[in-house]
Amino acid sequence: MDKKSPPVCNYEGSDYQQSFWDMGGRAYEDAAEAIALKRLLPSGGKFMLELGAGAGRNTPRYQQYGRVALVDYSRTQLEQARDRLGESGRYVFVAADVYHLPFVANRFDGATMIRTLHHMADPNLALGETARVIAHQGVFILEFANKRNLKSMLRHLLGKQSWSPYTQEPVEFATLNFDFHPQAVRQYLRRAGFEIEKQLTVSHFRVGFLKRWVPTGVLVMLDSLLQWTGRWIQVSPSVFTRCVAKKESQAAPDDALFQCPVCGTRLSGMGKDLTCESCGRVWEYSDGIYDFRISPPNEA
């Protein structure tokens, strides 16, 4: 691995989908995110890229796209996604690093990154690489964890939190877990070449006692009403942003998909190991998953 490449948060072998979502009491957050996505997704598209797809929790929400490429650094998360979604021509499962995407430039007409910027030590690099593979006018939906949320502002005011929610730098509250300032994220996006179209604030009521005492449906309805306020102010723990890529270059031809993540040479073929003609690396394909990780961690 390139020495300068940022570290990756390792989900290999993690039961994140079961423990955090299925059994974790997060029906409210999941439903609030589904509403935000519905509001932001375009009505149709050809080929979408889902970055940090995890176990594919959101993938069924992308029906308006003809195909979806799911990227995650963890092969075991992708195995869960594959088992949940099934193997078909509609899905391409790709183990890869957001910082080194194995796709040709301008390939996708849409992309999402949900709960994944959260793990990016270098958000500019991650969003720059994302922008590279999205074609002109492609729609990118980014979710990020907001450091300037009501709870953190209150804790700061009461002296219970040393870091300021108001400053632009990300806060790493646990190793490789970052919350971002909304204004800083808008800057990263513009720097990467995106034009911001809409912002929705999400999960306003992510508070233990509210979730215990107020019916989930009521919280979801109230959240749905408040999401529109994200256009003016963002003080919820989660923010969804819809952007459009602005490019001079043409969309990639339909038959081009992969490139070597090490040297950038285009790779041809699908459904088999792919050998790079320039640097000689062999990128494995097995059990329906392409593996483009430059130095994969030990599988759990």
Q: Binding residues for Zn ion, per CB under 5 A?
A: 260, 262-263, 265, 276, 278-279
Report how many residues bind ligand SAM under the rule CB under 6 A: 21
Strands (E), the chain: 45-51, 65-72, 91-95, 108-113, 134-145, 171-174, 177-179, 194-202, 238-245, 274-275, 282-286, 289-291
Does 77 bind ligand SAM (CB under 6 A)? Our answer is yes
Measuring CA to CA, which residue among 141, 167, 149, 142 is closest to residue 234? Answer: 149
Q: Which residue has the tokens 């593979």?
A: 133
Contacts of 178 (CB under 8 A, 6+ apart): 117, 118, 119, 120, 121, 123, 145, 170, 171, 172
Binding partner at 152 among Zn ion, ligand SAM, none, C-beta below 5 to 8 Å by kind: none
Residue 234 beta carbon to ligand SAM: minimum distance, rounded to whole angstroms: 19
Residue type at 163? W
Mark residue 240 as left, alpha or beta (left: phi above 0; alpha: psi -120 to 50; beta: remaining). Answer: beta
Pick the piece of the chain touching ligand SAM (CB under 6 A) from 109-117, 193-201, 211-219, 274-282: 109-117
Residue 74 or 106: which CB sits closer to ligand SAM? 74
Residue 140 or 290: which CB sits closer to Zn ion? 290
Residue 71 beta carbon to ligand SAM: minimum distance, rounded to whole angstroms: 6
Does 74 bind ligand SAM (CB under 6 A)? Our answer is yes
Binding partner at 114 among Zn ion, ligand SAM, none, C-beta below 5 to 8 Å by kind: ligand SAM
Interface with ligand SAM by CB under 6 A: which residues? 8-9, 11, 16, 52-54, 57-58, 71-74, 77, 97-99, 114-116, 119
